[in-house]
Structure 1
């Protein structure tokens, strides 16, 4: 067996152990998922993260060899990157950085709801085995295990003991649900607060198998503030974006763990990152390919391949765009031609242009055609010139096809011809719906067509009876597409549906379209084919606007003038708009974009009009400064200046010949100026000096001129330009709107044939005249305007009348209707009622404060014969907030017969029945199912369910009496069947009382006493499980305590040295010195001690204290209250001094102990009383003045057992030296023999005695002396 085979066998055995002894099929089939482990014969790769943002992708990964050793010396030239099998030419490689050996504090945060559904039971085994093997991987690190549901349970506190950690896994019990917020912020062992106990850099590994909603931002902020890194492992499920963010934004990582084959790489990767290793990173710009979906391959040394898929949000597809997006040649006189340019632009990368194709012979490429492919650099343009040469005036449609290596074949729509002329052959073609398509009632049908420009307006009709009857679907539709909602209230099922599309000119015949403005409108004009309308407005708007006359929608606003706009006009080539303003300027605008192109400045006052020459090469402007300027449009320079002296020029325009310009002055004359001859060749004189002319126009066919004057007169003139003898011309007809009031006339236009003259007046009226006879034909637009009509003119085909007024409106009157072309779907499609089965669910009873996960499968089934697309799912209703959707079926398209499931979490907020509706929205409609549940208060109340016993000193214990924590709230008996101490530290907690089964009567209590006995200096906890016949059947109490070093308080009880004479009343204060109270639990009520003295010298006067006589000594038993901690005097004792049998008595304090609670070491300092007023000879009493025994010193004290005692013996005889403990028991006799008086230095070994305080007593024939000794080893 070779080395590689041996390693493979070991790997299989590892997997077998992980799965509990069997190698399943899941091992054989690797899951190619987002977090991917790729294993080939030479190396292994763990993909940690994929980030795709702004068309750039970066991957974080680790590379192992066959022995799972990390590879660090990675070279860029050993890698290749492909997207959809296309080589990525350049990428960056950041090599990995090895981890350090520093330990970490790793908290495993385990979701106890893992595997709580029948369908996911195997997840519990996967999850616990995962922790077991991760614990082994992190042997040097301290580890803790928290399980969480709605509350948290400490299953193992921080430890490096692997066996103890693994034992805690036995405490894992599957719960019906969980709460992520509780996991991190729970009062009982919240993960983020728990990590303050960490000895090393804190890490949380969250292990879950469901995605839940949670406050991700709060957790991220708190974890970041505490420098806690969070890692997420999702068991057998796809991880949500929220959980990914939780890991990413806390400097952690995330993994999807599906089966045992993922285990080794995850273990290694986790250890690597937790110990501050940095993974390898490859970053590249996404290729400009033709798909959002990218299959990525990263190949290492041509041997190992890492494969995964990404979806780009806004990919840079290689595309072609054109300016303009389509070509409209409009009306070109048959026999003539017109050229338009098309700019082709490469987007996102270089694009190869292969060829162009036109089908209709009326269009041809006259410049820019290709004989061989060329490469168009990114963002550069290529110009084509298309020529339209009509043979008649009919509409012609074609598509320019651009063949290239861009994502799609680009098609540019082209049209030409007069818009009111039918095409010779139908170009209109319905693309969808198609034959036999099936739709639900409530769906939105996408109706698409071709053969027109996007700006061409159509009407749509539908039939549900195979064309026998038709109903209107929509008017005035643009854009080559319409979305038709099948309103359930309107439509019935039918398999005989048709769509019909009609192109009509004008599209809204018989209707009046009103264009409303914020202020007065001074002027309006059509473009050449009446596909656009321009308007000029008064102060304060100072705008011109361009509109769609078919829909009445504004296309754009021309902003640039500083004062009111007086005039607006189009050129005949549909390139420009020209405006004239009171701000002394005229501005040239792009008709397609609305952009300002050039400002003509030169007038010294208002510019009253601005018009193009018929060939579009010149413009003429007129002004109140008495000047008219003729400009070269290409050079933007003045060619000629026409002057009327001081008389303002109100209007100027070209005749049909671009060489002739007419201009009208304040003095009532109109002059024709020949540009080539540079002179006036005709003058039209009204003979009224103040009759300034507002407007004039020329007949399209004969030599007639009509003008509109301020005095309310309309002049129609005959003229002959070939008559060079007679310069002045006189009117043929003089007309007026009203011969009494003579309202000012603002415009006078001939129609396209010259059969009519249309005039607009300040009397709010529009009249139509016969210019040949001067007769009034009719008054049009009666009552349409409420103020002066400033313009009135017909469209080129007389189908529309356009008017503007100072009443702030422009109106378009559509006079006739012409159907240009029509198309109908080739065969029928059907609309059907959805047949969807829904199923209601009762989620059962759930206690308040708890929740329940339920898989509702199936909740709906598509029983229709067509697919059903679920658009949205939501829960609504009275208790909607109590029913949360956790997960749904990934595919939302349900084919016939398919079912749909939902994973729901039910968490009642109140008692009783709870209800909501879950709605499934599909196209234009929805179906719903009812969800119910029941909330209840658990009969067995455990409150509080968490008890912190705090610090308990090592060697001590502490009890908690749970007299009222466990109560039966119900009206029936509750049977407690068992009470168990589950652990993890069950040896440190014992149920002293109340651990047996019990029957609780209604409102009754079950008392318990639990004792905590720490065995080490560490935190300990346990879980008490209480099983009963209620719901839920198990309740829990968590108890926590800390074992700590014993803390002793210290003080000295002391008595002083006194002098007194027999018969005195002596007050002896007992004082407390060097008080040091370090124990926070101390509660001292007072102190007791024995005071020993010579019974013949002192007589106690305080009768409340007991005393005993022992030989020559009295022992006074004192108990003194400790009322004032600031007072150094514990108690003052009262005595009467007697004659005594000696001149001195020791005051010995012994057997001290505290009254109350606390641990304290009491040091005792004894004193003495010496009698005065005694004589040595013949006095009150004779005595040996220096006859007092003494223990001069005990060295050392405290002692470790070896001591040296310095004695002074003043009398001969039997002498004893004895050692007593503080309970009064004789522990050792050190000396018991007759000795002579004198000084002695004695050595003793007391090391066999335990630590403590002892009394050393020296007895001679007539005296006793006691001192304190402390032994500390």
Structure 2
């Protein structure tokens, strides 16, 4: 059978029947000095006033505190009372789970036993559900009153008007006959079946000189009861959940009603811990009484370290250069001892602490300037957190980044959450958190329910290092992983631009024919055209027979578009554009493959999409198809070529492959490569060796070039060269260098299954009411316990139904049994 456990707590007190200790009205305005009021009641219901700090022990969050002061006023003789206890006996009071009738009975008994022996008094007992009942008229016979209380039996609905003002046993009519000070204590565990006549109740109570105190069990006090209590001179108490608490509250009301004594006061010293919420436990040692209550310490006590700026980008630092930056730290609310300032990346170091190095104490509201140095071993983009280790409750992290944006270090991206062991409920929001890139960088987030065998997209537009995953999908699994990826793209290029010069150019002619052969739409433009064009998200092709000096003024613009996500093919003298933009140095050579006969592609070494669809062959079979050639010459003749020496801060992927060089008879080729040794067919004029293509990561864009691309009208480009260029144009958007990180271990998506029982009230007469108590009404048939934070009635006739037992802001923990 399922159980619903109500988990609302306000105050818990322990009494040995009529003995009690209650603590209330905590004042933390002079923190760390705390004051509160309390009542200590002995077994005869009298207030204990001869007290000192040594009589008590007080703890906050389990830590013993020093009690500095206890004071109690001289008690006055208790004022004679004519009191009426008004008890709710509706059906909900008898629910065996909550057993609210027990709380009511024990509270009433505590009241009766607490009435003084040496002063006159009289007490009556009334009850109500749909009607009202006079259980015991005014008497000073304790035994009769206790017997009457014990016989209370729950049944029926909840009618506040019946309790207060209706004929027969409305409590105001009973109380107005009292001989002494007229007080009534109203107790209920449910909202009324209809809105009571609050104004009339208040008026009649005031006319009869009746003070009303209201107590509600396991629910907030309704506004009508708050109004009735406060406007008649009484008080209200809500969410009472235990017998001990009910007894203590009734005895406290008794003290208030009798005007027999003001509460005692107690003072203690708290501390400056980082926990604002304080659970106070007060124990009266000689009687073994204790009480607990919570309060919130002022937020101003929480020590923090403020940092500005909270992020620093050191810029594009070329190795081995260094760059410095300064942050300011400030201790807020109190003195702070700083024991260290650390980062997990050795590229960032503290070179000046603005004073002595840690450990040091930073006075309240004092500041220090801290100088941080970034030393660049390479040009890769890096990020890290700078952490201040101290005794402060809270310290801002400082986000440090440096290097060339887009050139991300392979190990920098990290998925912080979810990272293993978490459980997320279907339909409930959770959060993905990552670090290692700029907050402005866009990442892709995915999750897997099969341990990483397949992935489901969450979003490809996440920024800010945090993303709220709205409504976890209904895909329960215990084998879930998360993944964050930076550098991905999903779209293709916008335009292709072929750069040309005013003179005839064989290299440009090659690219023109190549683009037409593969049906690529393109635009031929000159340097003056380039000055006017927006190259965003475009493919730019630059290949010339001689240095294109007219492009010097637009090279930075062209390469800037590449840096922001474009693509570029540079061959031969087109590499000078890279030099103009500062990426390195172009080196022209007058010697070319004068002895080249055939230059054939064997197979790739690096696994990369650039080689997709390229036909291979395996020596010793000779290449016998033109589709296997990279290029060849029709006669022995030198041709100019251009090499390029990139700056050290440029990130290059070398795409290695095996190739066969066959010469006209030049005996200068090396024959000791591993492929030659395997093949055994290499000679001085025929050799298989390694060569590479180059893929340059520039910002978030890509540049493709071959190691050697000669120009000569006797040189013929083979189909493999065209396939490389084709693959780059059609697939380069898929090659952008990506880094990703996956959860360190598995986490779970769980699905609670809530089943509720239908309720049939049967026939109910017009104008009457019927209650029902539902046992095991809710059942969780799923795999995960969950909390119900609200229950509402909706539908056509919703106004005709009301919850009993105080379920208006419910918090229920539903187990999975």
Considering the TM-score relative to the shorter chain, is it more than 0.5? yes
CA distance in 1, matches of 2:417, 2:396: 20
Instruction: Please state how far the C-alpha of 1:263 moved relative to its aligned partner.
Output: 8.7
Instruction: Please state how far the C-alpha of 1:878 moved relative to its aligned partner.
Output: 1.9
Instruction: Please state how far the C-alpha of 1:188 moved relative to its aligned partner.
Output: 6.3
CA distance in 1, matches of 2:53, 2:402: 58
CA distance in 1, matches of 2:436, 2:124: 72
Alignment of 1:49 onto 2:24? yes
Secondary structure, aligned partner of 2:378: coil
Alignment of 1:477 onto 2:457? no
- Which of 236, 255, 274 is the aligned partner of 2:257? 274
Contact kept, 8 Å, 2:485 with 2:739, in 1: the verdict is yes
CA distance in 1, matches of 2:126, 2:426: 53
2:187 corresponds to = 207
Secondary structure, aligned partner of 2:111: helix
Bigger Rg, which one: 1
Alignment of 1:357 onto 2:342? yes
Q: Mean Cα displacement is larger for which, 301-310 or 328-337?
A: 301-310
Contact kept, 8 Å, 1:397 with 1:414, in 2: the verdict is yes
1:841 corresponds to = 759
- Which of 418, 439, 453 is the aligned partner of 2:404? 418
- Which of 410, 418, 438 is the aligned partner of 1:433? 418
Secondary structure, aligned partner of 2:49: coil
- Which of 211, 230, 235 is the aligned partner of 1:229? 211
CA distance in 2, matches of 1:393, 1:461: 29
Instruction: Please state how far the C-alpha of 1:205 moved relative to its aligned partner.
Output: 0.7
CA distance in 1, matches of 2:469, 2:739: 21
Q: Deviations over 1:790-810 (max 9, x none)?
A: xxxxxx96979xxxxxxxxxx
| Cα gap change, 1:153 to 1:887, in 2 (>3 Å) | closer
Q: Deviations over 1:531-573 (max 9, x none)?
A: xxxxxxxxxxxxxxxxxxxxxxxxxxxxxxxxxxxxxxxxxxx
Contact kept, 8 Å, 1:46 with 1:266, in 2: the verdict is no
Instruction: Please state how far the C-alpha of 1:865 moved relative to its aligned partner.
Output: 2.6
| Cα gap change, 1:263 to 1:251, in 2 (>3 Å) | closer
Instruction: Please state how far the C-alpha of 1:92 moved relative to its aligned partner.
Output: 7.2
Q: Deviations over 1:1029-1048 (max 9, x none)?
A: xxxxxxxxxxxxxxxxxxxx
Q: Deviations over 1:23-73 (max 9, x none)?
A: xxxxxxxxx982413569xx9652153558889876432124676643335
Structure 2, unmatched stretches of 5+, are 1-8, 496-530, 533-548, 562-573, 578-697, 703-731
| Cα gap change, 1:230 to 1:848, in 2 (>3 Å) | same
Alignment of 1:140 onto 2:125? no
Secondary structure, aligned partner of 2:802: strand
2:377 corresponds to = 391
| Cα gap change, 1:487 to 1:474, in 2 (>3 Å) | same
Contact kept, 8 Å, 1:114 with 1:208, in 2: the verdict is no
Contact kept, 8 Å, 1:839 with 1:859, in 2: the verdict is yes
Q: Counterparts in 2 of 1:812-831, with a 5 A limit?
A: 818-826=736-744, 828-831=746-749
Q: Counterparts in 2 of 1:335-354, with a 5 A limit?
A: 335-354=320-339
Secondary structure, aligned partner of 2:96: helix
| Cα gap change, 1:473 to 1:209, in 2 (>3 Å) | closer
Secondary structure, aligned partner of 1:876: coil
CA distance in 2, matches of 1:122, 1:472: 51
1:880 corresponds to = 798
- Which of 778, 782, 789 is the aligned partner of 1:860? 778
| Cα gap change, 1:51 to 1:509, in 2 (>3 Å) | farther
| Cα gap change, 1:65 to 1:376, in 2 (>3 Å) | farther
Instruction: Please state how far the C-alpha of 1:120 moved relative to its aligned partner.
Output: 6.8
- Which of 483, 490, 504 is the aligned partner of 1:500? 483
CA distance in 1, matches of 2:438, 2:161: 57
Q: Deviations over 1:859-905 (max 9, x none)?
A: 232232333343432222222223323345976343432xxxxxxxx
- Which of 251, 267, 279 is the aligned partner of 1:295? 279
Instruction: Please state how far the C-alpha of 1:279 moved relative to its aligned partner.
Output: 1.2
1:36 corresponds to = 13
Contact kept, 8 Å, 1:34 with 1:256, in 2: the verdict is no
Contact kept, 8 Å, 2:428 with 2:470, in 1: the verdict is yes
Q: Deviations over 1:123-179 (max 9, x none)?
A: 556645754663462662343433222333445555667788678769955432223
Instruction: Please state how far the C-alpha of 1:387 moved relative to its aligned partner.
Output: 1.9
CA distance in 2, matches of 1:327, 1:362: 14
Greater RCO between the two (CA within 8 Å, min separation 6)? 2
CA distance in 2, matches of 1:106, 1:68: 16
**Greater strand content:** 1
Instruction: Please state how far the C-alpha of 1:365 moved relative to its aligned partner.
Output: 0.9
Q: Counterparts in 2 of 1:521-920, with a 5 A limit?
A: 753=556, 818-826=736-744, 828-831=746-749, 834-885=752-803, 886-887=805-806, 892-897=812-817
Q: Deviations over 1:807-864 (max 9, x none)?
A: xxxxxxxx98954521123455454554444332323444433333333221232232
Contact kept, 8 Å, 1:445 with 1:484, in 2: the verdict is yes
Q: Deviations over 1:1223-1249 (max 9, x none)?
A: xxxxxxxxxxxxxxxxxxxxxxxxxxx
Q: Deviations over 1:1049-1108 (max 9, x none)?
A: xxxxxxxxxxxxxxxxxxxxxxxxxxxxxxxxxxxxxxxxxxxxxxxxxxxxxxxxxxxx
Contact kept, 8 Å, 1:458 with 1:507, in 2: the verdict is no
> Scaled by the length of structure 2, what TM-score is found?
0.58
Secondary structure, aligned partner of 2:771: strand
Secondary structure, aligned partner of 1:872: coil
Contact kept, 8 Å, 2:383 with 2:437, in 1: the verdict is yes
| Cα gap change, 1:218 to 1:333, in 2 (>3 Å) | farther
CA distance in 1, matches of 2:477, 2:311: 38
Secondary structure, aligned partner of 1:231: strand
Contact kept, 8 Å, 1:751 with 1:798, in 2: the verdict is no
Secondary structure, aligned partner of 1:106: strand
Structure 1, unmatched stretches of 5+, are 1-31, 513-705, 708-731, 734-748, 759-769, 774-795, 801-814, 898-1273
Aligned residues: 579
Contact kept, 8 Å, 2:218 with 2:806, in 1: the verdict is no
Contact kept, 8 Å, 1:93 with 1:280, in 2: the verdict is yes
Q: Deviations over 1:402-434 (max 9, x none)?
A: 2222346764332212222222x4121113334
2:392 corresponds to = 406
Contact kept, 8 Å, 2:106 with 2:246, in 1: the verdict is no
CA distance in 2, matches of 1:380, 1:465: 53
Contact kept, 8 Å, 1:152 with 1:189, in 2: the verdict is yes
| Cα gap change, 1:887 to 1:828, in 2 (>3 Å) | same
Q: Counterparts in 2 of 1:298-309, with a 5 A limit?
A: 298=282, 306-309=290-293
Contact kept, 8 Å, 2:110 with 2:251, in 1: the verdict is no
Secondary structure, aligned partner of 1:426: coil
| Cα gap change, 1:501 to 1:37, in 2 (>3 Å) | same
Instruction: Please state how far the C-alpha of 1:329 moved relative to its aligned partner.
Output: 2.4
Secondary structure, aligned partner of 1:841: coil
2:130 corresponds to = 150
Secondary structure, aligned partner of 2:772: strand
**Greater helix content:** 2
1:720 corresponds to = none
1:952 corresponds to = none
Secondary structure, aligned partner of 1:206: strand
CA distance in 2, matches of 1:157, 1:873: 40
Alignment of 1:449 onto 2:434? yes
Q: Counterparts in 2 of 1:303-322, with a 5 A limit?
A: 306-310=290-294, 312=296, 317-322=302-307
CA distance in 2, matches of 1:420, 1:35: 60
Instruction: Please state how far the C-alpha of 1:466 moved relative to its aligned partner.
Output: 5.0
| Cα gap change, 1:511 to 1:455, in 2 (>3 Å) | farther
